Amino acid sequence: MNAPDPLLVFDLDGTLADTADDLVATLNAIMAREGSPPIALADARSMVGMGARKLISLGFAADGKTVTPERLEELFHDYLAIYEANIAVHSKLYPGVLSALDRFADAGFEFAVCTNKSERPALKLMNELGVSGRFRAICGQDTFDWSKPDARALQATIQRAGGDITHAIMIGDSRTDIQTARNAGLPVVAVDFGYTDVPVRELAPDVVISHFDELWEAVAQARKVFS
């Protein structure tokens, strides 16, 4: 029996695409409507990888405000409507993503996305960026009953992509991605240009890269770690 195709599972925000400008602009639109001052992009970058609900909560916390769960759900739906209407004003793939995907595809790799972005905006963003067709599965925070860092979110993404967990690697940018991979028993490559509250090297991923041109060797190294 032939071995299954190897699968690379990517986080989205801060890993495949630089989306912070559009995410924070949406947050600030909500903040302004609610009478709170805007959050500077530099201050908000570490917040945006945790999902929109967490981003909203942290944004209002920065103004000394607590949002009730009920109000958070209302703001979350308002946030999604504004964000989806402006989803790729400034968002773009990181340099080297397309050439890296080409190289891995030529070598027989398949791809999936496991993100804490809701599935609908994740799909829309990937469509806007012109890469959705390259991925066998694009799974968000609400795709399954679990979300990262629960290992089951990653495991279910791999299953939906038709992959095998013993031939998969996670690529992410944050503590959440590294914890998810560890919880699932997968090797993990971290990018150091994404959205994290601490330097990603301090979180002990298997390999750290600073550009997608380095991903080929990083994946080879990560696979050796777990071989």
**Rounded Cα–Cα distance for residues 27 and 22 (Å):** 9
If pLDDT is split at 50, 70 and 90, which confidence band does 227 have? low
- For residue 75, what are the β-bridge partners? none
State pLDDT tens for residues 144-198: 999 999 999 999 999 999 999 999 999 999 999 999 999 999 999 999 999 988 9
State pLDDT tens for residues 20-35: 999 999 999 999 999 9
11 is catalytic: yes
Other Cβ atoms within 10 Å of 63 Cβ, number: 13
pLDDT at res. 52: 87
pLDDT at res. 212: 98
pTM over 0.85: yes
Given 5, 11, 78, 197, the catalytic residue: 11
If pLDDT is split at 50, 70 and 90, which confidence band does 223 have? confident
Other Cβ atoms within 10 Å of 82 Cβ, number: 16
Say which DSSP state 168 is in: E
pLDDT at res. 4: 77
pLDDT at res. 225: 67
pLDDT at res. 166: 94
Is the pLDDT score of 91 beyond 70? yes
Domains of the chain: 7-18+91-225 (3.40.50.1000), 20-85 (1.10.150)
